[in-house]
Amino acid sequence: MAVSFVGCVSLSAEVKNWHPDFPMGTSFFPSYIVATASMKSPWDPMGPHYFGDWRELAGVAFQPVHEDTKLRVEISSTRFIKPSSYEVRLTVPGFVYHIYPPLKFDYAALRAVQQATPETVTIKVSDISYGATGRVISSEETETVTVHALTDCPIARNEEDWSWMLAAYVNENSPVIQGILQEALRAGIVTQFAGYQKGEQDVRNEVFAIWFVLQQRGIKYSDITTPSADADQVVSQTVRLVDDSVTYQQANCVDGSVLFASVFRKIGLRTALVTIPQHCFVVVFLNRTGSAMLEIETTALGSGEPVAGRAGPPPPLAVARQRSMQSFNEAVKRWYDNAQLAAAKEKLHIIDIDHLRKQGLNPL
């Protein structure tokens, strides 16, 4: 990153030769902060002139004048960041160092953000090279940032592809999932959810039972992707939480894929999200080895006849299941057609949820 320090007037050349550094611009994304709180870095380690949190949420760019400068960076904010500090020794004068303290967030407060809100961040930099003699020189700046809604999902930062963040919205622990499974059992398509304990056809039947229930609940396609606020360094879109998709009976391609993936994980099936430009699908593996899979176009969910809102008495259960099976088969076929087209253009991307969970990605 090219940094200019022209015009810095200071108490100390070491201390004021810095400025606040927000690689994601003046935007904080609670979804990213919560989801990656315990995650290992998914990319190569930071370079030799980068220190602290690999997520690079907030910090300073600092250019030391002397060879052995010991620096303390302290960051806090009005609501979301508790006082956090980080100390580092900088050895090469003239180089621009980037220092990002591991921030102590109020995660409960971040999870509760439903609309964009401003936040004041305070950054204090202290030269503590001669702290033993009492010579500590500090300077402080504040910056106003926008804290986005939890449903705002960053999917790209500058040239970096962050579509893997979609996996954070897969949440098999959502309380609505148990109700979906109970309804599926009452529908009589399967007698139990056994995961991979039986054969591939049994797994396919379990998948269809889930499709049938969600279709009967009246979930419709809704192409809402606009985030709660704009961001200058990050591309983001709205992704509904699992509870919201079910409660409000609306889902776009990502929401629907996230919802199905959440239920699949609950019953022990391995699943993945698949993206092509401007679209998302869900994949469920039919066996433990992953040699067979079922690909589902979730936007076809609304093409059946849900019970909710239908005029007159509902059809017999057998008739409803037959109609739902037709839309289910169409959903699988439609995915195949689109995926083949995307694969030919080498733009298909599989988001392996199991792999990301092993890296520490938290569900929202």
Higher model confidence: residue 307 or residue 323? 323
């869900």: which residue's tokens? 282
Residue 50, Cβ neighbours under 10 Å: how many?
15
- Residue-wise pLDDT for 218-249, tens only, equals 888 887 778 877 887 899 999 999 999 999 88
Distance CA 340, CA 277 (A): 13
Residue 48, Cβ neighbours under 10 Å: how many?
9
Strand partners, 330: none
Residue-wise burial string across 187-226, b where 16 or more C-beta atoms lie within 10 A, e elsewhere = bebbeebebbeeeeebbbebbbbbbbbbbbbbbbbbeebe
What pLDDT sits at residue 131? 58
Percent of the chain residues past pLDDT 90, beyond the cut: 61
Reported CATH class of domain 13-147: mainly beta
For the chain, the straight-line distance linking the first and the last C-alpha, in angstroms and rounded, comes to 32
Environment class of 175 (CB within 10 Å of its CB; exposed 0-12, middle 13-18, buried 19+): exposed
Task: Transcribe 209-273 into DSSP letters.
Answer: HHHHHHHHTT-EE------SS--SSEEEEE---HHHHHHHTEE-HHHHHHHHHHHHHHTT--EEE
Query: In this model, does residue 309 exceed pLDDT 70?
Result: no
Q: How far is CA 272 from CA 127, 201, 260, 308, in A?
A: 48, 19, 10, 30
Residues whose CB is less than 8 angstroms from the CB of residue 239 and which lie 6 or more positions away in sequence, other chains included: 31, 151, 153, 166, 169, 254, 255, 258
Q: Is-contact 103 80, C-beta < 8 A?
A: no
Q: What are 257's two structure tokens?
A: 């894929």
Q: What are 287's two structure tokens?
A: 């066996």
Distance CA 331, CA 268 (A): 22
- Residue-wise pLDDT for 339-362, tens only, equals 777 777 778 889 999 999 999 999
Domain boundaries, the chain: 13-147, 153-358
Query: In this model, does residue 35 exceed pLDDT 90?
Result: yes
- Residue-wise pLDDT for 53-74, tens only, equals 999 999 999 998 888 889 999 9
What pLDDT sits at residue 86? 97
Q: What are 302's two structure tokens?
A: 């609304």
Confidence of residue 300 (pLDDT cuts 50, 70, 90): confident
- Residue-wise pLDDT for 247-288, tens only, equals 988 889 999 999 999 999 999 999 999 998 888 999 999 999
Higher model confidence: residue 129 or residue 357? 357
Distance CA 76, CA 80 (A): 8
Taking alpha carbons only, the member of 263, 278, 277, 297 closest to residue 225 is: 278
How many Cα atoms are found within 13 Å in the side-chain-facing hemisphere of 34? 24
């990319």: which residue's tokens? 43
Q: Is-contact 24 233, C-beta < 8 A?
A: yes
- E strands within 7-58? 18-21, 27-28, 50-52
